[in-house]
Amino acid sequence: MTRSDPVISCRNVWKIFGPRPMDALAQLRADPQARPDRHVTAVHDVTLDIMPGEMLVVMGLSGSGKSTLVRCLSRLNEITAGEILIEGRDIGKMSESELIDLRRRKMGMVFQSFGLLPNRNALENVAFPLEMRGQSRASRIARAREMLALVGLKGRESYFPRELSGGQQQRVGIARSLAVEPDIWFLDEPFSALDPLIRREMQDEFLRLKAILKKTIIFITHDFDEALRLADRIAIMKDGRVEQCDTPDRIVLEPATEYVARFTAEIDRARVIHASGLAEPLTGRSAEGPALPGGQTLREMARHLVADRRDWIPVADAQGRTTGVLERARALDILLGEHV
């Protein structure tokens, strides 16, 4: 496997709940508008790839299928049809022992409910999956201390869950999932039970960890602001289907369906769209003078856009290389709230 190969590949994945799901699937394939009796189509013919080091945020309203899809990716739910590959291996064909080993060695999971063991302190909770793996006490305790320090809980090792705030409990849950050094990290609405201030702090912490650890992350949320803040790409789901899977910039600029457009209608696009997302190819255009950093949003560079009188402004990547040019008039239209 190379860095250009997907870590996870879904191919035409279906998950149908109810009796005789294959009969319901045949009915749906024959008539996409059919509604098989006593069946729920939780995942509807989903195809997508997730790349190494990427954070894919899966979002949608309650009942959209986002949690079911992620449970299928880890084979906590068996799929009705299709194929899911983890690093090129079909997890549907794995034996139970192979699947257990994959989860123990490759996957970390954090759910909305913290799931901490009440009779164990923070250090013991974080060390628990390593104990299940059979590691020595000394090595698992050392690893647990390291992970608690990473999430900002150094000094809280001996605290029991009842002695920790909700945000601190969530950090213990995150530390526990990281203890096994997963390559793939599944997070199902991990911050939704937290109050807004703690939630924002946890998002900041999560972005810090993401930058340090370079994990491949699948993060579920129903909060579009949270998705915009965290995601490399966003998959928006409705009725089990992925309506659009794209970068935040493209979803806001070019919603693929009316449903996605409604999600983005009230968003301040200037704080979402980056210079790189709005840049056009250099072909035939001047790229002289100082460049804008592609990673900044239009809101962050508002003063520069207002002061700079060039019609086309160069845009550079993190290494300072010019990658395109930004049409100043279009950027100002977005910044001032006009329609593109």
Residue type, position 13, single letter: V
**What are the beta bridge partners of residue 217?**
55, 185
- Taking each helix axis from N to C end, the angle separating 122-133 and 96-106, rounded to the nearest 10 degrees, works out to 140
Q: What is the pLDDT of residues 194-211, one digit of tens each?
A: 778 778 887 888 888 788
When the candidates are 3.30.450.40, 3.10.580.10, 3.90.550.10, 3.50.30.20, the CATH number that belongs to 270-335 is 3.10.580.10
> What are the distances in angstroms from CA 40 to CA 237, 277, 290?
15, 37, 55
Q: What is the DSSP string of 227-286?
A: HHHH-SEEEEEETTEEEEEE-HHHHHHS-SSHHHHHHHTTS-GGGT-BHHHH-B--TTS-
Given this model, what pLDDT does residue 1 score? 54
Given this model, what pLDDT does residue 268 score? 87
Helix (H) or strand (E) holding 41: strand 40-50
Q: SS3 letters for 67-80?
A: HHHHHHHCCCCCCC
Is residue 218 a contact partner of residue 73, using CB atoms and an 8 Å limit? Answer: yes
Q: Which strands form 107-111's sheet, in the order they lie side by side?
A: 107-111, 184-188, 216-221, 55-59, 233-238, 241-246
Write out the residue limits of the CATH 3.40.50.300 domain(s) in the chain.
1-94+232-265
Low-confidence ranges of the chain (pLDDT < 50): 339-340
Q: Which two tokens stand for residue 338?
A: 């006009």
Given this model, what pLDDT does residue 340 score? 41
Q: Which two tokens stand for residue 230?
A: 């965290």
Write out the residue limits of the CATH 3.10.580.10 domain(s) in the chain.
270-335
> What are the distances in angstroms from CA 295 to CA 246, 303, 323, 333?
17, 16, 12, 19
**Tally of helices (H runs) and strands (E runs) in the chain:** 13, 13
Identify the CATH number of the domain defined by range 1-94+232-265.
Answer: 3.40.50.300
